[in-house]
A and B are shown apart, each in its own frame.
Chain A
């Protein structure tokens, strides 16, 4: 499984915030969805995360 860097969801969310400020509302919401998905992926795939041990 690919382990994404922790900064990836932050980068995607910053992109959503910038797009929102530039007036692209719907695109920003879709990009936020992507950031949320990446956050959940990072949560479950992060190999050093204690959640992995517990599960």
Chain B
């Protein structure tokens, strides 16, 4: 696998983990629970992270970039939906803002940039020469991959606690499973 492509994929995976970490920090430290659309955006971000993780773990493949781009498109659609939901004056907003923008607005920008980044990486043709079957992941790639798994698992447990086994409320005020 091309060194540049490998480094950029690892960097993107670190970025996805960092974004999810910030969202998690906001949820736990600030007590702002994610809404259903916010959770779906997290889900799409995890999907994009999975694509980068596959590239880091196995070497570059067009299908891995497909995972990234399709996840980013779905996430972007959900984020755009939430932006449009609050775009009409007087409809308010959900959650607090970070550097002047709400999280769903940041998410929309992030998904656009992720799709653009993955599409740009596809231009590095040398990365596909080696093939995925010959690729042996380094210790760093293994650590980064398992870190991503832990973050995904954390989001799963958090979502289960927040929404329980039924529909998730529009404006969640507490963890449903912990209240029962």
Contact = CB atoms under 8 A, between A and B. Distances in A.
Given A29-B63, A49-B37, A5 B165 contact: yes
Contacts of B57: 20-21, 25
Given A17-B50, A20-B53, A25-B132, A10 B67 contact: no
Majority DSSP secondary structure for residues of B touching A: helix
Contacts of A36: 47, 70-71, 74
B114 interface: no
Contacts of A14: 149, 152-153, 156
Contact of A21 (B70, B85, B146, B167): B146
B12 interface: no
B122 to A, nearest CB: 17
Interface in A14-28: 14, 16-18, 20-21, 25, 28
9 cross-chain pairs, A with B, having the tightest CB-CB distances, nearest first: A10-B156, A7-B160, A6-B163, A7-B159, A6-B168, A17-B149, A14-B152, A5-B165, A48-B170
22 contacts: A3-B167, A6-B159, A6-B168, A10-B43, A10-B155, A11-B156, A14-B152, A16-B50, A20-B50, A20-B58, A21-B142, A29-B54, A29-B63, A32-B67, A35-B47, A36-B70, A39-B43, A39-B44, A46-B168, A47-B167, A48-B169, A48-B170
Interface of A: 3, 5-7, 9-11, 13-14, 16-18, 20-21, 25, 28-29, 32, 35-36, 39-40, 42-43, 46-51, 54
Given A3-B167, A17-B149, 10 more contacts: A3-B166, A6-B168, A10-B43, A10-B156, A14-B156, A20-B53, A29-B67, A46-B36, A48-B167, A48-B169
